[in-house]
Structure formats: C-alpha cells, structure tokens
Amino acid sequence: MVGRAPWDKNHHYCGVCFTVLQNLRGGAEIECSLLFADVRGSTRLAEQMTPSAFRLLMARFYEMASAVLVERDAIVDKFVGDEVVAIFIPALAGDVHAARAVAAARALMAATGNGAREEPWLPLGAGVHTGVAFVGSVGEGRAAELTALGDVVNIAARLASAAGPGEILCTNVAATAAALATDDLEHRRPLPPTCHADSIVDDHGVMEFQLFFTRS
C-alpha cells in the first residue's frame, strides 16, 4: 500500500503507526527491558587495520546485531560507534520482554564467537536491565525519534561498560523478570564503581548490589 513500509527499527512491523507516534510526540512510561552491547577494545582493533577495513568489520557487526535483535522482537534503538542499543517493550516482545533481552544478549555473544574455543571475531560485552522508562518520541522536527529515557537506560549502559569480553551483566531485577536460573552464575558484589550502585534502588529503598555473569 502507498506510504507503508517496514519500520527501520524492526522490519517485522509496519512503520506507519510508529511514524505517527513519533510525529505526534507520543510516548508513555512503561516497564521494559534494555540491552546494551558494545565492542571491547575497539580502539585497539581500529589501530590494527585500515579505516576501510574497520568500517567493514563494524558493518558486519551492525548487520548481525540487527538480525539477532529483530528476530527477538526488539526495537533496534540505535548504533553508536561500536555499540548497539535495543529496547524490549511488552507491545512487541510481550510479558517476556526481560527473557527476550537476556536471550538476545546470549545470541549476540554466540554470533560474535564469544564463548567459543577460538578467539571471537569481535570481543563483546553486554548489559541488561529491566524497569520503568519513558518510551516514545524524543527530539524536535526531523530529528525526532522513538527511543527510551530514564535511569533504567543509564543502568543498562553502565553495565555494558563494566562487562568484559564475553560477559553479560544483568541486574537482579532483570534476572528475576526473565526467570533466569542463577544458581550456576557468578554473583558479583559490590557493583563495579562505574555502575553507580547508589542509583540502583528497589521499591523499599534497598540498594541492589547483585549482578549476574554468564558466558554464551
């Protein structure tokens, strides 16, 4: 139909409704799950190859990450340099959005070779957090885009920054929401300083210091 095309943030869905939401500056505070994944040591990688070769490497990462995330009903929020940001909302991923985010993080690790016997073709670290964020149109004019804002986003970003190659750091909130079996995972205490533990507080004002670690 005229004017209808796949949504650029997830081609499984028509872009019309999301474009209308974006143009009308719509949005709401909803519970969702955030996944950040970025390349570890990208500066060193860039130093070891030509700019064109590095661009091809990042293009391979972008294409692979998009496919993994779209397959799990994510909103591919953005690619920023060597990092991908994904939002999992109930409207697309259902009530299992946290489980989808964890599954996507594991799939990204597997697709980049992290956890394999050989060296990964791209070392990756990831962070997952679940909570209430504003999801909707942000920005003005043609610069407006559908994205997520709030502390839940910041926490997921900090977790990804703290994750080493092949690591997925997941908050206790996200692990519980995802029904993740944690007995065989590494429990980290306290949070890395870059995660600002004092900003992760549950409904009773108790700091969540627990992180979970897993490899693909």
> Looking at residue 216, what is its pLDDT?
36
Domains of the chain (ranges plus CATH)? 22-214 (3.30.70.1230)
Cis bond upstream, residue 165 (ω within 30): no
Q: Token match 């990688």: residue?
A: 45
Single pTM value for the model:
0.82
User: pLDDT per residue over 121-173, tens digit each?
Assistant: 999 999 999 999 999 888 776 667 889 999 999 999 988 988 889 889 888 89
DSSP count for the chain of H helices, then E strands: 7, 10
Give the integer Cα–Cα distance in Å for 162 and 201: 19
182-187 CB contacts, 8 Å cutoff, 24+ apart: 182/212, 185/212, 185/213, 185/214, 186/212, 186/213, 186/214, 187/211, 187/212, 187/213
Q: Give me the percent of the chain exceeding a pLDDT of 90.
A: 53
Angle, helices 51-71/97-111, rounded to nearest 10 degrees: 140
Instruction: Say if residue 115's pLDDT is above 50.
Output: yes
> Looking at residue 146, what is its pLDDT?
84
